[in-house]
Structure 1
Amino acid sequence: MIIEFSTLCDREGRLCPRCHHACSNLPGTSSGPCYPTGPSSTPGIRSVAIGGSYVPTDCYLDAWARTEADLERLTAAFPEARLKSFGKESGEFPVSVTVSLRTFGQVADALRIGVGICPLYVLWHNMTWPCVPELGLEQEHKYAELQIACNSHDIFCETPTPEHTVFLHSRHGDDERVAWLASKVGAQIAGPSELGW
């Protein structure tokens, strides 16, 4: 589904102290699970909350530096990043720049910084898609990932675009679950299923 990038806080700029996001636990609201809410939360971030469970340490940003200038800007922005060259020779381009992210706040900051440098994505591994009894679907652990591709419409961010795309990774043929998840965050499917990884 194609989304518009927006800030990850409420209109007053407040963030939840637990999930570092505009959610149901802001001061003056109920105290329950952290579910991002409000007009400024993105479908991608809301999908993580709908997912039921995820491992915070299994989220990362991955950007592909294709030029020396991109690499310099990315390493200046993310000094803790891990670098891996995928060129024919060691040290050649492209270079994968990977940053571990643990909180929604870190994701928001990384997206705000990185989106101005080059196409990149944030990926959540080890999620659980919830059961959907009305569709006869049980919980899904093995094929449950969520990816926000910034300035790209493909999972590898090879083709730059002005828009951003949310990919819900699921079991092949599980289109009903994906449509259900999208509807829960107020989004619609933008295109057909694709073969992922």
Structure 2
Amino acid sequence: MSNSYAQAVLRTTDVAEALRVAGRLLALADTGELEVDFESRVSTPCELERLSRVMPDADWWSYGSDRHGSSRNGDSPSECLPIFLSRWCMDPEAVEGFLAAAGNAPAMVRWDFSGWPEAPEVGLGRGGTRGAYVTVCVNARDLYLEEPATDHTVYVHVKQSEARRAAWLAAQVGLQTIGELEMAPL
């Protein structure tokens, strides 16, 4: 597992608005190679059933320090709730179905692409694949999906050494960064 660095650029109660902002950020990026990763914190059998339909063959692991169980061990996810459910390299067209299946569960969509554009105003050339992501967290205030919320947050990911790119990207879509740059799991 590696890490990137992320900074929030929007917090909203409107999922559609979060997805529009993510789309505007992606329009800036080199998306010649585009993949989408999904994660959700699943607490109920109903959530598990809905999400399993849109994330077949997803990896999962128990949530909480006193919990054990995972897809690697061949355990039954329904017997190990709450769990984190994760699926990488999904088709971008699957985003809306995933978010509908997530319902009110904390969930994350992360777009992975080839790189950010040059940002000459802040002295940065084209960004490469490392640190080139956009993430929307729904029903959660953090990238780890541990702080439930009634709103949704859009993050841009950048290389730590290119932290000023985050504010530049936010400005390109008429926004400002929120909070500090933080290490993000990948």
Q: TM-score range by the shorter chain?
A: 0.7 to 0.9
Distance apart, 1:166 and its partner CA: 1.0
Q: Distance in 2 between matches of 1:3 and 1:190?
A: 8
Distance apart, 1:74 and its partner CA: 2.2
Q: 1:75 aligns with which of 52, 57, 65?
A: 52
TM-score computed with the length of structure 1 as normaliser: 0.70
Partner of 2:90: 101
Partner of 2:151: 163
Q: Which has a greater percent of helix?
A: 2
Deviations 1:114-133 (Å, cap 9, x if unpaired)?
2x240100011243011112
TM-score computed with the length of structure 2 as normaliser: 0.74
Secondary structure of 1:112's partner? helix
Deviations 1:21-61 (Å, cap 9, x if unpaired)?
xxxxxxxxxxxxxxxxxxx96211211111233523x2122
Q: 1:184 aligns with which of 172, 177, 185?
A: 172
Q: 1:55 aligns with which of 25, 33, 53?
A: 33
Distance change in 2, residues 1:70/1:111 (3 Å): closer
1:194 matched to 2:182? The reply is: yes
- Structure 2: 5+ residue runs without aligned partners? 1-8, 70-74
Deviations 1:116-164 (Å, cap 9, x if unpaired)?
2401000112430111122210111122111110111211111111111
Count of residue correspondences: 162
Task: Assess if the C-alpha contact under 8 Å between 1:43 and 1:186 holds in 2.
Answer: no
Distance change in 2, residues 1:88/1:113 (3 Å): closer
Alpha-carbon RMSD = 2.5
- Structure 1: 5+ residue runs without aligned partners? 9-39
Task: Assess if the C-alpha contact under 8 Å between 1:48 and 1:54 holds in 2.
Answer: no
Partner of 1:122: 109
Partner of 1:18: none
Partner of 2:5: none
Q: Which has a greater percent of strand?
A: 2
Partner of 1:29: none
Moved over 6 A (4+): none
Q: Which has the higher contact order (CA 8 A, sep 6+)?
A: 2
* Counterpart residue identity of residue 118, structure 2: C
Distance apart, 1:95 and its partner CA: 2.8
